[in-house]
Chains A and B, each alone.
Chain A
């Protein structure tokens, strides 16, 4: 694996049991993503983009094939090692934000740092910095139910970015947002990609997101149909 290659999948197959048989969501995906890329897995619903994103994020395991992320073969990792791998190197952004409801924005963003054992002082500094990046430092004490969709997603981005991971996986990050908020969030992510060199991998079929991508990997029925770099 090349030093700059962050993600490498080979012959990736994912099958789900359905009734007596099975449904094949991914059919032999070969994909390389380099460090610092701003890449999107695009395609219609059911094309396998979220499945691929989950496998790259070590949240799911492939039925066949290999996945290497940051030089680690995910198949060789135990559940605990995979969790540690996610905690250390990855950030996640979900379509429905998935903020912890009883925590404030500050506490939500602070959570990954707690897992990394950062000191209170360091946590405070990093959290406020991350909230600043996404322009929501004034909402640090607000709970998720007090935030709009756009604000919630910005908190989710801050949570994903606070530990400055090498890789951020974003699953339909703008699906629940209006156009203005979508653009704002995408601009934020482009800025973070440029300034911090963080690799972003999106699963999306939103044209607004697609317009920001530097590379577009189109999936159709579990196979890569095209791989275009702009």
Chain B
């Protein structure tokens, strides 16, 4: 207890030096949490958006020929729904999607697109498919994304000629009506595609009861009975995203490391340099009757108290920032989804207990260690050497 009292007295007595060090440490602490929270939030948003909007929480079952990176595979990527999931489709736990290649002619310019058929009642993907309702024109209703609308100059109510090839290879065309334009951060459900009711596309392409992929609300256990279908779990579907998150995490960790180094410098200045400067003080303490162990304890507690005060100050000063980051978010310059990141214009920080406690513990242990090690080294000096400040 006496060591705490003395350490506290030392801190208070050091005045401005203490508070400057505490401030630097607190700022580094805030920035470390802030930066990591932004990266975590970004990763969460990316993951959440891709899972909820593009894939479905349970992954997807793909036609064995289907390769989203190869448009030439689309023609043959269709088969009757896998029997195992009929019950899931009926209860909206699975959403079959038929994908066909097509062409549209907005403003007379030919544009190759994917035509995607989906049940308007589906609940697996977070898409406003319920809006795909036939209007007064009686034409096939179509849903498009904002990016697609911007690029093609389309608006709600516009009629659009779509040309496609049916299962027999015959070209056909019809007009569809744009009934809704959705705002989404996921480009892979927006750019160069239109969404129409599944039964319309099946009828148009003569592929009744068939689909290219089936999005699932829950993971599929086992293997589809038909060799025409392959289950793709979220790990597979999210691989590119996860790789990107990893690279972002690496960047985030570098930033975390730099801030950690700044924090270390603050502690280093406080403790290592101060302790070396305070050799004579240590010698005096020993001469006055403080044991070597208590000298080490005193300086270690003193350093640790710096850390504790800095953490308290950090939480007090940082809480409004973390709150704002969580509720209002951080506005990104420009549309990040233009760069292929499903983030939208605002990133929301994520400041979970693991981040807060982890960072606090990491810094605190470092403070204790950086306080302890140099003191231990110096306290090995004889009191007479310490008194001489050598």
Contact = CB atoms under 8 A, between A and B. Distances in A.
Interface in A83-130: 83-84, 86-88, 90, 92, 94, 98, 100-103, 107, 111-112, 114-115, 117
Contact of A103 (B13, B280, B287, B384): B13
B291 interface: yes
Interface in B1-37: 2, 5-6, 9-10, 12-15
A57 B288 CA distance: 10
B383 A60 contact: yes
B16 to A, nearest CB: 11
Contact of B286 (A59, A100, A111): A59
B387 A59 contact: yes
B288 A86 contact: yes
A79 interface: yes
Contacts of A79: 291-292
Nearest to A99: B284
Given A102-B10, A102-B13, A59 B288 contact: no
Contacts of A100: 281, 284-285
B320 interface: no
A54 interface: yes
B289 A59 contact: no
Contacts of A115: 2, 288-290
B225 interface: no
A143 B6 CA distance: 16
Interface residues on A, range: 20 to 34
A117 B294 CA distance: 14
B289 A84 contact: yes
A103 B291 contact: no
A59 B384 contact: yes
A18 interface: no
A92 B5 contact: no
Contacts of B9: 102-103, 107
A186 B293 CA distance: 35
A83 B292 contact: yes
A86 B289 contact: yes
Interface of A: 54, 57, 59-60, 79-80, 83-84, 86-88, 90, 92, 94, 98, 100-103, 107, 111-112, 114-115, 117, 143, 159
Interface of B: 2, 5-6, 9-10, 12-15, 280-281, 283-294, 382-384, 387
